[in-house]
Every structure is written in C-alpha cells, then in structure tokens.
C-alpha cells in the first residue's frame, strides 16, 4: 500500500517532466545544484550575518545526517524510480539506493538546524521550504521517490535535534573553531 502511494505520488510529479524543455532544464538545474545554493546561504550566514555558532552547528548537523544516510544505505536498499521502470529520467544517475535522498538531507539538515536557534529561526524556516521544493525537483527529474524526500526531512530533523541537545558538550569544539576563525579572519 505504501509502495503504491509512493509510486503514485512519484508519477503525479514526474508526469510533468518531458513536456517543456525550459521547465525540464530548470527542474534539473535546481535538483542538481540545490546543495550549492545552501552552501552559499550558510557561508553568507556565517560571514555576513555573523551567526557563526549556528552555522557551525548546522554544518555538524549536515555531516552527521549524511553519515547516517550512508549507514542506512548499508542495511537498506531502495531502488530508484528508473530502476523500477517508472517515469521519465531527465538526468542520468547511478542506480544506488535512493532512500533517503542525500541532496535533500543536506539541505534539510542545514535548515532544521538553523530553525532550532532564535537568531536563525527565520532563515531556517525559509530554507526548509526551499529545501523541500528543491527536493521535489529530484522527484521531477526522475531520480527519487517522494518518500525519499520525506525520509530526508525526518533525517534532517532527527540530526538537528541530536546536535542541538549535544550543543553544550560540543562547546569546546565550537570554541576551538571560533578561535581558529578569529586567527585567520581577524581584521587588522
């Protein structure tokens, strides 16, 4: 039943692919380059907005989420839609496990982490919305099921909560990173 729902949702979104070259190119670009947009945003938040601690915690959250994704992939294989013979594929991809989406996990772990902190809550909220939309571009381009995006949403939230709860224990590491930052980027 869940498999049927996942496939139906996939086909409902992916059915829009292959009908308009402009839409296809935009969808592929956003689906593939989404993490780079988020890297740019976290660099901006770190340097320009001066929310350094929040940006560091968000980066640690992303690393932990991606590592957990790869751990899941060792024990659970879920085929990509094209491996199941479904949909239109706009961007070739290797037929590795699709669950959860690494691209989307990257974006949503960063977003959920920023959402946890008062000074970056608004950034986190807006980035969550953008991350989900960019994750759905991965469905549009035919390389993920919607539940892969949902799995990324859950993984990002889980890791953001975990790092947030461990933030006091991580304080020495954060202080060391900020000390190094101060030595490198100190204004003359």
pLDDT truncated to tens, each residue of the chain (188 aa)?
888 889 899 989 999 998 999 999 999 999 999 999 999 999 999 888 788 999 999 999 999 999 999 999 999 998 899 888 889 888 888 878 889 999 999 999 999 999 999 999 999 999 999 999 999 999 999 999 999 999 999 999 999 999 999 999 999 999 999 899 888 877 64
Which single residue is written with the structure tokens 């590491």?
173
Altogether, the residues listed in the chain come to a count of 188
CA dihedral for 177, 153, 138, 78, sign (positive or negative): positive
What pTM was computed for the model?
A: 0.89
Which single residue is written with the structure tokens 């950034």?
123
Q: Six-digit token pair at 112? A: 């959920």
Q: Six-digit token pair at 86? A: 């479904």
Closest CA to 111 of 149, 66, 67, 156: 156
Q: If 0-12 CB within 10 Å is exposed, 13-18 middle and 19+ buried, where does residue 18 land?
A: middle
């Amino acid at each position: 039943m869940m498999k049927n729902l996942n496939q139906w949702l996939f086909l409902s979104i992916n059915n829009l692919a292959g009908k308009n070259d402009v839409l296809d190119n935009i969808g592929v670009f956003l689906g593939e380059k989404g993490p780079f947009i988020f890297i740019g945003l976290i660099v901006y938040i770190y340097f320009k907005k001066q929310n350094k601690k929040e940006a560091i915690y968000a980066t640690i959250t992303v690393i932990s989420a991606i590592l957990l994704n790869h751990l899941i992939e060792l024990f659970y294989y879920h085929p990509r839609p094209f491996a199941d013979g479904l949909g239109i594929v706009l961007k070739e991809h290797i037929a590795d496990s699709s669950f959860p989406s690494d691209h989307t996990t990257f974006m949503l772990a960063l977003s959920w982490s920023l959402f946890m902190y008062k000074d970056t809550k608004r950034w986190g909220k807006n980035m969550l919305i953008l991350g989900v939309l960019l994750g759905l571009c991965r469905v549009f381009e035919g390389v993920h099921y919607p539940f892969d995006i949902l799995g990324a949403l859950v993984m990002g939230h889980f890791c953001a909560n975990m790092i947030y709860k461990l933030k006091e224990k991580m304080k020495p590491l954060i202080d060391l990173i900020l000390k190094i930052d101060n030595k490198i980027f100190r204004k003359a």
